[in-house]
Chains A and B, each alone.
Chain A
Amino acid sequence: EDQVTQSPEALRLQEGESSSLNCSYTVSGLRGLFWYRQDPGKGPEFLFTLYSAGEEKEKERLKATLTKKESFLHITAPKPEDSATYLCAVQAGGGATNKLIFGTGTLLAVQP
């Protein structure tokens, strides 16, 4: 069964304290891995798509990497405005569904 597991469930950082969030997946035929940011009471905001092991994407203080079994979202020198829930999702197989399987997210709190 296709599965996505994110860790930790919650992470509290001081402003400027770099860290990483983990997304491990078990899927047959990975078509893509996606990172989203979700603020309270809002819809997820798309951040990155990674397609193959070794691929990296960067956006401001965020950097996403992908291996054959997991992805990391590295946060460098975070600021309080980076506080949010970060969701990981994978797409397996193909077809018209483009079904995404989501993890339960990591709640990040960055304190000033």
Chain B
Amino acid sequence: SQTIHQWPATLVQPVGSPLSLECTVEGTSNPNLYWYRQAAGRGLQLLFYSVGIGQISSEVPQNLSASRPQDRQFILSSKKLLLSDSGFYLCAWRTGGTYEQYFGPGTRLTVT
């Protein structure tokens, strides 16, 4: 069966510091991968998606970036965090033939 992991689970970082969040998927090949951010009282906002290694598409202009160095690994990064980057970051995957996406456990990021 498929499993999705995210780490770290929680993170507290000062403004201006770098960020690296990692997501890995097990039990599937060539998944579509997604990064979402969920702010309190708001719906999930799609940040990035990837259909393959090295292929990244951005949905929202911001100081975040994403990379996909391996088929089942997706990384969210920032060089300098802003207070507005605080939120709950979720990674999701999907494979061909189905439209539903499956989410990881999430990373709670607090920028202080």
Contact = CB atoms under 8 A, between A and B. Distances in A.
A78 interface: no
Contact of A105 (B43, B51, B104): B43
Contacts of A21: none
B43 A43 contact: no
Say what secondary structure dominates the interface of chain A: strand
- Give the size category of A's interface with B: 20 to 34
B57 A97 contact: yes
A31 B99 contact: yes
Contacts of A34: 99-101
Q: Which residue, A31, A42, A45, has most C-beta atoms of chain B within 10 A? A: A42
A97 B57 CA distance: 9
A32 B101 CA distance: 11
Contacts of B42: 104
- Give the size category of B's interface with A: 20 to 34
A98 B106 contact: no
Interface in A76-112: 87, 89, 91, 96-105
A42 B100 contact: no
Given A43-B90, A44-B90, A4 B32 contact: no
A43 B100 contact: no
B49 A99 contact: yes
B44 A41 contact: no
B103 interface: yes
Contact of B101 (A31, A41, A98, A101): A98
- 9 smallest CB-CB distances across A and B, nearest first, come from A43-B103, A102-B43, A102-B44, A32-B99, A43-B106, A104-B43, A44-B103, A96-B51, A49-B100
